[in-house]
Amino acid sequence: MIVKKKRWSSIRWRIILIYFLLVFIAMTIIGVFIMSELEAYQMKSIRNNFTEIVQGNILSFQEYGNLDEHKEEIQNDILAWSKSLREEMFVVNSDFIIIASSNPNYLGKSGLDLLNQSILVKGLSGEIAEEDGILPSGIPVKNMVFPIESDNEITGVVCLRADISSVYEIQNQSKVIFIQAMIVALIITLLLGFLIARSITVPIIDVTEKAEKMSRGDFSQVVDVKSDDEIGQLASMFNLLREKLDHTLSEISNEKNKLEAILKNMVDGLLAVDLNGRIILANQSAMLMLSLTQEEIAEKSYDEIMGKLSDNLRFECIRENCKNGSSHDIFHYGGFYYDIRYDRFKDENDQDVGIIILIQDITEQQKLENMQRDFVANVSHELKTPLTTIKSYTETLVDREINDTGTIMSFLKIIDAEADRMSRLVRELLQLSRLDHKQERWYKKELNLINVLKTSITKVEMTAQNKNQQLNQIFDPTQKIMTVIDRDRIDQVFLNVLSNAITYTKEGGRIDVDAYKDEKYAHVIIKDNGIGISENEVHRVFERFYRVDKARSREMGGTGLGLSIAKQIIEEHDGSINIESKLGKGTKVSIKLPLAPRRGIRNIE
């Protein structure tokens, strides 16, 4: 915010004051010089006049050896000369006695009493001297003496005295005229100074006001360029600066918005920590990962937030670790695994100002790695068991002489069963691979889902009856629920779910199968009252090779891949499959498939 200064401290009044003082000082100096020169000129005129008067007449006085003896002649000469002069003239002998004067009243009197003593002394010493003085009556006069020399001896002096009141009157009148002229000149100077200052300050004020508006964020200001002088150039440069600044700020704003958008939408967490260990920036992902609020970021230090998670994450530790470049670490927090990477960041002078920290959620990656390890271990285990069985029975048949045909057939049946088990495992693995790589061929057509479901139930009815289980068809078998499906694959899904329900339901148990539709989807519900699944394991049932009861599943020939394949088949049909279960109370499987479009029957491959 620009602070407006007092009116009298503005540059306009400073310019006016400078103009005023310049003119005042210049005119004062000129006035003093003129007054001095005028006075000197007038005094010089009087002096020259005295010299002319005396030089023309003093020669006759020099002829008199003794002035006292010729004082009558001298007085007559003085009286004759004084008729044409305004000055007073005196002739004083060597005894300072006035022997002749234009004023007869001074005759015979001492010149020391009536005239200037100092110049009389100088005159009788042979000098031409002058001095200004004031008569007892207050009249200013100029006194001047000329020595009278006869036979190289000063016999007396001629003294002239003139009234110089007129000189001082002229000086005073000149001063009055000059002061009046100065006042007029200063008034004109103030007016001109105001106009000149205004022509300079108005554009500056305009630039200042518009700069103030720019400081508040309004960059639409344009200064009018009215001249080609420095002020005009200033206005032009201001307009150019405004355009450049507007463009630069626009770019900065765009980059800032991009950066904010990037930080806001980053999946990875980002922290910036200064050298004092205070968090100066944290994006939304970082706050979610660390369960922090903006207030906690502002109030707590880095060590209070991150240092408590691991000693390796303390500020001094990571600062030391990244001295030679970026570094990283892994920590566990809130059931998630995070990879933390950090490095120093510098200012424009290449000085360290803090540490930038990137936090990446690697929980899924960790799970995937665990699943891959489990997958390899499970496949190895699943293949090892039948291979070991086959090898052991084969070696028995080869190494031993067995004559009992029943025993041989029993061994061969076991070998055949284990081979079928490996074959089934390989088929399921190949099917999963095709599903993963989108290589499975689909033969989809519009079918009544109820017919497919009834066929699947028929295939497992005998198995359920062998365990004295009730396999109840709750749905209306005459209804039509038209869907676009691959019959074999959906039949595979229903058989897998039904087989699991029969397998994990005790003898005499109950299995209910229901089917219905809404506006968009067909729903198939298969519910049993079997052994169920614990809550902490339900979310893992679709993982490959995962078994709730591993020993029992393996005894029953399960591979742990059925539900994984079922899930991918249903998802390829744009549907979903969900499992709800409670340990000891049974399991509910919900399958949802989109209904067929309302048009004629068509085949889709």
Q: How confident is the model at residue 549 (pLDDT cuts 50, 70, 90)?
A: low
Domains and CATH numbers, the chain: 266-361 (3.30.450.20), 367-436 (1.10.287.130), 444-604 (3.30.565.10)
- 559 vs 477: which has the higher pLDDT: 477
Q: Are strands 140-150 and 129-134 parallel, antiparallel or unpaired?
A: antiparallel
Quick one: DSSP state of residue 1? -
How far apart CA 514 and CA 519 sit, in angstroms, is 17
User: What's the rounded Cα separation, in Å, for the pair 512 and 474?
Assistant: 7
pLDDT on residue 554: 46
CA 139/CA 105 separation, integer angstroms:
18
HSE-CB of 470 using CA atoms within 13 angstroms: 10
First to last CA, the chain: 73
SS3 161: strand
The percentage of the chain sitting over the pLDDT mark of 70, rounded to a whole number, equals 87
pLDDT digits (tens, 9 = 90+) for 290-331: 777 888 778 888 788 777 777 777 888 887 787 777 777 777
Give residue 432's pLDDT: 66
The bridge status of strand 470-473 relative to strand 510-517 is parallel
Q: CA 514, 520, 522: angle at the middle one, nearest 5?
A: 20
Q: Which of 2-11, 26-35, 289-298, 446-455 has the highest mean pLDDT?
A: 446-455
Give, in order, the Cα–Cα distances in Å from 434 to each of 185, 441, 546: 106, 9, 20
Structural contact between residues 540 and 546, judged by C-beta atoms closer than 8 angstroms = yes
Rounded CA-CA distance 474/68 in Å is 176
Q: What whole-number distance in Å separates Cα of residue 154 and Cα of residue 148?
A: 6
The reported pLDDT for the residue numbered 602 is 46
pLDDT greater than 70 at residue 467: yes
354 phi, psi to nearest 5 deg: 170, -165
Q: What is the pLDDT of residue 405?
A: 77
Q: Which residues contact 556 (CB under 8 A, 6 or more apart)?
A: 503
- Residue 135: pLDDT band with limits 50, 70, 90: confident
DSSP lists the bridge partners of residue 590 as 525, 578
Q: What are the pLDDT digits (tens) for 137-183?
A: 788 888 888 888 777 788 888 888 888 888 888 888 888 888 898 88
Question: Shortest CA distance to 165 belongs to which of 131, 138, 144?
Answer: 138
pLDDT in tens, 367-399: 777 666 766 666 666 667 677 777 777 877 777
- Position of tokens 């295939």? 459
The answer to whether the beta carbons of residues 355 and 322 sit under 8 Å apart is: yes
Is there a contact between 147 and 124 (Cβ–Cβ < 8 Å)? yes
